[in-house]
Structure formats: structure tokens, C-alpha cells
Amino acid sequence: MDVERFLGAIEGNPDYAGQIEHLEILAERAGRWEAPERPLPDPIVGMLRRGGIDGLYAHQAAALDGARDGRDLVIVTGTASGKTLCYHLPILETCWTDPDARALFLFPTKALAQDQLRGLLERIDGEPDVAERIRPGVYDGDTPTSQRRRIKAEANLVLTNPDMLHASILPYHPKWARFFSGLRYVVVDEIHMYRGILGAHVACVLRRLLRICAHYGARPQFVCASATIANPGELASKLVDRPVDVIDDDGSPRGRKFFAFWNPTPHGQDRLARRGATEDAVWLMAELMRHGAQALAFTRTRQAAELIDRYVREAFAKQASPLAEKVRAYRGGYLPDERRKIEQDLFRGDLCGVASTNALELGVDIGSLDAALLVHYPGTIASAWQQAGRSGRRCDDSLAVLIAGNDPVDQYLLRHPRYFFEQSPEQAVVDPENPYVLANHLRAAAHELPIEAASIAEPFGAAAEPIAGILVESRQLAQAAGRYYATSGQNPAQRISLRHMSDETYSIILRRPGVPAGDAKPHEVIANVDAISAPELIYPEAVYLHNGQSFVVRELDLTSKVAYVERRETDYYTQAILESNVRITRERTRKPIAAPASLAFGEVDVTWKTVAFKKVKFNTRENIGYGTVDIPEQTLPTTAFWLAPDDDVRARLKAAGYRPSEGLCGLRNLAVVGLPMIAMCDSRDISGVVDSRNLGHSAMIVYDRYPGGLGYCERGYRRIEELLGICRQLVTECDCEEGCPSCVGLPNLRPAIHSDPDLMRGYPIPDKRATIELLEQLVAEPVTACASRGAV
């Protein structure tokens, strides 16, 4: 793709109005090759040469030498830098010299495991001696029963995911005795994904794995791989519970990358009113496809991916263009066969455009793409670079475009592009001792092997003993002769989800016209959604978007965990309106701060429910009505920090004519988008309220959206001065006068207390001046986000 020519065409288009606010051109980089300390066996060298590999990059040679030395490693290099070879080579060499050696590969998704198997088979194909000794197999939920038996008996390289290891391998370890006794290597790929709740679960699964390995007399080495983050060694060490050496000297070559920061099209003369990022993404993707480019648009929500797919198709269909059939959406919730077909079509070039959630952020081989569109800042610098790296996976020129939304952080990056291009990515946060997570895994571990009470802290940490005591009191574990035992013969891991806030999922079933709901045979399961997200996505009368089509939810069966939908072409989609309340249940700690306010961290109960929905018209995005929803509320026990301004601060705000609660509402919105800048999380992992019932006066409460907490708000509590400084900078640099979505955030919508339940009222956008006045009193000295990054 001729990127410069394409950008010139865009700037010459009548619809272009100066949206490119910054263009960074990243220079091409030559590769650096090095030789390992001793040569690889001749058959493996021959295998590499047949694949066009005549030498190793610097990081590949360093990884091979480190693995040979018996060290646990994490490789941290850019997208398409050849990280896979870093763990393939030591494992292939070991299995070549030792027929009894085994290796376990863990990938975050089934698609990535299948992709890696294809690459591995292609690598060893044509080298009969190597192929005879290397017997790989994928063991996941889609593997047929007959093939599972063969993999257990014959495979020396098993590719799977943490979920399968957790629920279907470790609980049945006697059937894998030969494999575990010879296990020499464990590969944990894409470890930057294992943060937050998934990271806490995976850390516990790996501790259970090491217990099983020790039982069979094995102590495998870990070789991890990660995208660029600030603390790869710390993250890997927390996951595998061992010191880990970091290899981050990237020796791979890179083509030129053009990275544009795009501010969506202004509306009329009002430079602060702009179109949504989704609208400009549709235009850019269509233009890229018209220029013969292959483009991937990353969105933050499933709904946005479906909308871009729909709008691009409609644009081409109006012109009777065959390109209308060459665009698709890709996201979680699609069935496995559907996702794999999209991946294959993209790899073969049958698709020219795909709108995807971060499901395609990982290293599934989808070929060499020309352009990546980031529709909104993805929440972290690490994710932004990972998504941008999906274009230009060879040495050709490529394009990445960050299409900013109205979010404060998006607009901050447009004003400060150097912050993005010059600062290191964020630190990944993981808490292996989350009490809710750990309790589940102690039950699973006791089912696999009795747990020695005297040494329970060695694999599971200091929190394990008191949690085990609680499990004994509730009869979920039994204690006898210095050991903890399972109290049930059933496998508890089957009921523990590693990825969702809830361990249960809802099936979305397409109801055929004229068929009763109870008659399941004529119906078709089109997607799945976790139980926590279900009330926000599949409430009655919701419009559910799937593969560019709209479906109306006719019934939500809370008992059977099923939503029945009907295919209907609507001219609108729906957005849920939530209502939440927070109750502080226990204060764990508090600390004095420089600001005139009290700060504490502790435990809270959050209750929330979907109370209504609004209807948004396709294309125009106008709000065309509301509807009410009557479903039960949900309760979330989690952790939070709360900040309450002192009486003097509230008095000064009132004297100046401001309401303290208005300032706190603006600060709450800023804190939720600002916290990801110092903790590697998504703004959707956290939330917050302004509340006066808990403390008797107004306070901002910011909480993690997972049972037991994720560690994000604890980091916000520890670094509150930095967080307040970031909030101050975000709001004071915005050009608006009274407040807008780019600073103090959107208004809250709640149902009106009215005789007509369909009438709704909206709270106004929080008062910007009150927010600034509050922050001026809370922040003693200006603190820039760029400066605070240096402390990460």
C-alpha cells in the first residue's frame, strides 16, 4: 500500500476538514542477527532454512541461550518480531535430544492455539526426522474425544488454553501422568493479557499446575512472551511465582509506519461539537477498501463493531459495489466456526475490511494488513501499540490511525501526542490473592490433590490459610491429619469461569416464527454472553446486533439463562440505562494526604440494575425514545477507595456559588477515565458514584467491577495525588466553557419518578467550573500526566 498517496487522497477529499491533528512517521529499522552460543542440531537448522530463516535475531538467540541455561524467561518485543521462535527453538531442540521430554503451550484463546499449531506443522513439514520426533496437538473444548485420547498418549507438545488446563486437564491429572512426569517447558504466551481478573485466575491455575508437576517429580521451565508493557518481569514473576529474566532487546526489522491521530469531523461552525469516532471510522474504512487496502478497525464494544460492519456494508450496497460482501464484524459471542472462517477469509484476502473488538488484538496470523483503525483510544498505551502493530506485519509501509472519541483521555492524547509516542507503556496489575478467586482455586486444588496445611502458603500465598479456614467452616473443604480435602467428588473447576465476572453464561437463541419458546429443537443458538453483562445487553425489547443484523429480545428467562430473540430489521438500536448504589461495608486502611480531604480504601457492596433503555436511530444517532426494564438487581462485593473533601473545602465551594456534589460528579467521571493512565486497566473495569449516605456528606467512591476487587482502585488509592493531578490537567486543558464529554463527562440518565413510566429525565453534564474549583483546592501543585508516567 502506498500510504503517502492514500493520505494525500484523503486530504484532497471534499469530506476532509483537517481531522489529522498529528502524523508520526516511525522510521524503518534494520534487523540485527546474532548466533547462539552453540549451534542448533543440523535437522533443526535445515528446517529453519527451508522456512527462509538463515539466522536468528538478537532476541531469539538470547532466548535460546537463556532457556539452555535453565532460566525462566519472558520475551518482550514488538508485534511480528518472531517471539514464537524464541520458545519453539529450545523446545524443539530438547524434544530432539530427549524422546521423553514434554512441553505445554498456553495461549489465551482457542483460535491462537489453532493458529500456532498450523505454524508449527508448517515449520516441521518437509523435515521427516524432526516431524517423527515432534508430535504436537491442540487440546481444547473443540477437540474430538477420540483425538483427545491420542493426544494424551502420544503428543509431546500440547497446545491449549488456561481454561482447558484449569477445568479439563489438572482435575484429571492421573490420565496425564506420563505427560506431567516428563514436562520440561511451559510456554505462557501473550502474558500482557493476563492482568486483572483473568491474570488472578491464571496465576492460581499455574500454582495448581506446579503442585501437580511436583507430585510427578517434574519442575518445568517457564518461557513467557508479552507485548511491550512497563513491568513484564514483575507480571511474569507474579504469574508463575518465580523470578523471571527479561529479554527485551528487539532485533527484528520493521517497515515504515505512519501513525495518524484523527479528531472526528466538526459539526458546522462549532469546533467543540464533532461526529462520533464510529462515523469517521466507517468513512475511513470504506476509503481504504476503495483504494485496494486491507483494513482492520478495532472497537471498544461489540455493538460498535457491529455498527461499523453494518454502515460500511450499507455504503457499498447503495453503490451496488461488490465490496459490500467483503466486510465483516468479528467479536466475542460469535460461535467458534464463525470466528475461524472470518480469520481464514481475512488471511486469504477474501475480506478487505473487518471491524473487531480486541479479540483480534492477539497474534492470530491474519496475514499482512495495510491499515489498522483504532476507534477510540483502547485504554492503555500497550493495547494501542498492539493493535497498531496488526498492520505492516512485514517490512512494507503501513498505516495506523487513532480515531479519537470525546473521552477526556482521547482528547488529551490529541493535545499531547508526545505523551503517547515518548512514554513507556503502563504497568500490568494482577492480584493472585484475590479472596474470591483464591477460594475457588483452593477448592479446585484440594479436589486434585490434598493440600498440606503447614505449607499452604508456599504455592498460594499468605491469604490462603485464613481462606481455607472459612471454606472448612462452610463445609466446602474438610481438614484432617494436617491436610485439606475436597468435600465433594464433583470437579469444582467446571463451575469456575476464568474470564467473566460471573461463572454462568446466557445463551441467545433465535426463535423461529410460530414456534413455542419451550420447544428448543427448531431454535438456533446464535451467541453467548456472561451473566453479569446479560442484563445490560439482552433485556426484554433490547435490539441485539449480530453479524450486521438486528434481533429483538422477546424474552429473558433468568432461571434457564436463555434469551429468546427474533430477527427483525429495525431502524434503531438500544442502549441500557443503569442505576447503581454503593454501601461501604469495611474500611481496610486510610492515609493522610496533602489535599484537604479524607481518603480511605476498603470493601463495598455495589448493587445495580438495568432500569430502562434508550432507542438510538441508525445513521443519524438521534435519540428517538425510551423504554422501561423490570429485571432483578445484581449485587457485587468488591473493593473501592473513597475521597471526601473537608468541611472547609465544601464551605468555600458553596460560598463561590457551586454545589460540592456537582464538583464531585465531574471529578468522579475524570477519575474513572484517568485511573487507567496509572494502572493498566480499561475504564470499564472500574466505576464510581458520588454518595452522601455512607459518610453523612458527599464523597466520591471509585470501585473495581469484579467480586473481591482487581487491585486497580487500590493503586488509585496509593497514587491519589497523581490521579488528582491527571484529573486537573484533563479538565483545565479542555477548550469548552461549561463542561462537555471531553472533560467532565456525559450526563447520567435515570428514570423519572412520573406517572408515565416512558417519560425520562436526564441530569445535566456536571458543572465544569465547580469541578475545576474543587481540584484547585485538592491539588497543591500542577502535576502533568507526562511527568507522572516517569514514576511507573
Q: Side chain identity at 743, as an amino acid letter? A: C
Confidence (pLDDT) at 7: 96
Residues near 651 by Cβ (< 8 Å), separated by ≥ 6?
none
Q: What is the pLDDT of residues 439-452, one digit of tens each?
A: 999 999 999 999 99
Is pLDDT of 520 > 60? Answer: no
Distances (CA, A) of 583 to 319, 394, 533, 653, 701: 55, 53, 22, 26, 10
**Cβ–Cβ under 8 Å, residues 470 and 439:** yes
Q: Among the listed ranges 26-35, 316-325, 402-411, 744-753, which one has the minimum average pLDDT value?
A: 744-753
Same fold flag, 3-27+253-422 and 33-247: yes
**What's the whole-number mean pLDDT along residues 556-585?**
90
Of 615, 633, 611, which Cα lies nearest the Cα of 750?
Answer: 611
Q: Please give the Cα distance from 718 to 301 (Å, whole number).
A: 30
**Gyration radius from the chain CA atoms:** 27
Q: Please give the Cα distance from 508 to 562 (Å, whole number).
A: 6
Q: Please give the Cα distance from 713 to 599 (Å, whole number).
A: 12
Confidence (pLDDT) at 118: 87
Is pLDDT of 266 > 90? Answer: no
**What's the whole-number mean pLDDT along residues 518-545?**
78
**What's the whole-number mean pLDDT along residues 210-232?**
94
Residues near 42 by Cβ (< 8 Å), separated by ≥ 6?
none
Confidence (pLDDT) at 549: 82
Confidence (pLDDT) at 396: 83
Q: Take residue 456 and report the three cell numbers written for it.
A: 499452604
Is pLDDT of 393 > 80? Answer: no
Which residue has better confidence, 524 or 541?
Answer: 541
Give the CA-trace dihedral at 633, 634, 637, 643, to 10 degrees: -50
Confidence (pLDDT) at 791: 28
Q: Side chain identity at 602, as an amino acid letter? A: G
Q: Among the listed ranges 168-177, 721-730, 764-773, which one has the minimum average pLDDT value?
A: 764-773
Q: Please give the Cα distance from 445 to 784 (Å, whole number).
A: 46
Is pLDDT of 716 > 80? Answer: yes
Model confidence band, residue 545 (pLDDT cutoffs 50, 70, 90) = confident
Confidence (pLDDT) at 518: 52
Q: Among the listed ranges 379-383, 457-461, 578-582, 681-685, which one has the minimum average pLDDT value?
A: 681-685
Q: Take residue 329 and report the three cell numbers written for it.
A: 464484524
Q: Take residue 347 and report the three cell numbers written for it.
A: 488471511
Is pLDDT of 168 > 50? Answer: yes
Which residue has better confidence, 201 or 275?
Answer: 201
Q: Please give the Cα distance from 624 to 598 (Å, whole number).
A: 43
Phi, psi (degrees; rounded to nearest 5) at 140? -140, -170
Is pLDDT of 785 > 90? Answer: no
Q: Please give the Cα distance from 183 to 189 (Å, whole number).
A: 17
Provide the mean pLDDT of the chain. 87
Residues near 319 by Cβ (< 8 Å), separated by ≥ 6?
none
What percent helix, strand, coil does the chain show, rounded to 5?
40, 25, 35
Q: Please give the Cα distance from 357 to 682 (Å, whole number).
A: 13
Q: Where are the beta strands (DSSP E) in 359-490?
A: 371-375, 398-403, 451-452, 477-480, 483-486
Of 689, 668, 702, which Cα lies nearest the Cα of 770?
Answer: 668
Is pLDDT of 503 > 60? Answer: no
Of 237, 480, 227, which Cα lies nearest the Cα of 358?
Answer: 227
Q: What is the pLDDT of residues 350-376, one digit of tens each?
A: 999 999 988 777 666 666 789 999 999
The 10 Å Cβ neighbour count of residue 635 is 14
**What's the whole-number mean pLDDT along residues 385-389?**
89
Q: Which residues pair with 368 in a beta bridge?
A: none
The 10 Å Cβ neighbour count of residue 358 is 18
Is pLDDT of 2 > 70? Answer: yes
Q: Take residue 687 and report the three cell numbers written for it.
A: 466505576
**What's the whole-number mean pLDDT along residues 402-425?**
86
Confidence (pLDDT) at 380: 83
Q: Where are the beta strands (DSSP E) in 393-539?
A: 398-403, 451-452, 477-480, 483-486, 505-510, 524-530
End-to-end Cα separation, the chain, in angstroms: 37
Q: Please give the Cα distance from 632 to 319 (Å, whole number).
A: 47
Distances (CA, A) of 354 to 293, 310, 329, 457, 697: 12, 11, 6, 47, 49
Phi, psi (degrees; rounded to nearest 5) at 611? -105, -15
The 10 Å Cβ neighbour count of residue 99 is 9
Distances (CA, A) of 739 to 54, 674, 722, 770, 783: 59, 17, 22, 10, 21
Phi, psi (degrees; rounded to nearest 5) at 541? 75, 5
Count Cβ neighbours within 10 Å for each residue of 657-693 and write b for 16 or more, e otherwise.
ebebbbbbbbbbbbbbbbbbbbbbbbbebbbbbbbee
Q: What is the pLDDT of residues 659-692, one digit of tens each?
A: 999 999 999 999 998 998 888 777 778 999 998 9
Q: Where are the domains of the chain?
A: 3-27+253-422, 33-247, 439-495, 505-570, 579-778
**What's the whole-number mean pLDDT along residues 529-542?**
85
Confidence (pLDDT) at 276: 82
**Cβ–Cβ under 8 Å, residues 69 and 247:** no
CATH of the structural domain 33-247, one choice from 3.30.1330.20, 3.40.50.300, 1.10.20.140, 2.60.40.10: 3.40.50.300
Q: What is the largest CA-CA distance in the chain?
A: 84
Confidence (pLDDT) at 763: 46
- Long-range (24+ apart) CB contacts under 8 A made by 124-132 are 124/47, 124/92, 126/47, 126/50, 127/43, 127/46, 127/47, 127/50, 129/43, 130/43, 130/44, 130/47, 130/92, 130/96
Q: What is the pLDDT of residues 13-34, one digit of tens each?
A: 998 989 999 999 999 999 999 9
Is residue 641 within a helix (H) or strand (E), and if so which, with residue range?
Answer: strand 634-645
Phi, psi (degrees; rounded to nearest 5) at 584? -75, 125
**What's the whole-number mean pLDDT along residues 480-494?**
93
Q: Please give the Cα distance from 588 to 602 (Å, whole number).
A: 5
Q: Please give the Cα distance from 540 to 83 (Å, whole number).
A: 46
Sign of CA dihedral 350, 353, 359, 364: positive
Phi, psi (degrees; rounded to nearest 5) at 121? -65, -40
**What's the whole-number mean pLDDT along residues 181-208?**
93
Of 367, 365, 352, 357, which Cα lies nearest the Cα of 295?
Answer: 352
Phi, psi (degrees; rounded to nearest 5) at 114? -65, -40
Sign of CA dihedral 211, 217, 221, 227: negative
**Cβ–Cβ under 8 Å, residues 523 and 285:** no
The alpha helices in 231-301, defined as continuous H runs, are: 232-240, 277-290
Model confidence band, residue 754 (pLDDT cutoffs 50, 70, 90) = very low
Model confidence band, residue 734 (pLDDT cutoffs 50, 70, 90) = confident
Of 595, 566, 585, 606, which Cα lies nearest the Cα of 704?
Answer: 606
Confidence (pLDDT) at 273: 53
Is pLDDT of 537 > 70? Answer: yes
Task: Report domain 3-27+253-422's class.
Answer: alpha beta
Is pLDDT of 509 > 50? Answer: yes
| pTM (predicted TM-score) | 0.79
Is pLDDT of 346 > 90? Answer: no
Confidence (pLDDT) at 501: 56
Which residue has better confidence, 579 or 361?
Answer: 579
DSSP for 90-142, please give it: HHHHHHHH-TT-EEEEE-SSHHHHHHHHHHHHHHHTT-HHHHHH--EEE-STT
Which residue has better confidence, 142 or 493?
Answer: 493
DSSP for 51-99, please give it: TT--SEEHHHHHHHHHHHTT--EEEE--TTS-HHHHHHHHHHHHHHH-T
**Cβ–Cβ under 8 Å, residues 288 and 370:** yes
Of 124, 157, 142, which Cα lies nearest the Cα of 223?
Answer: 157
Q: Please give the Cα distance from 80 to 393 (Å, whole number).
A: 6
Is residue 586 within a helix (H) or strand (E), and if so which, with residue range?
Answer: strand 572-590
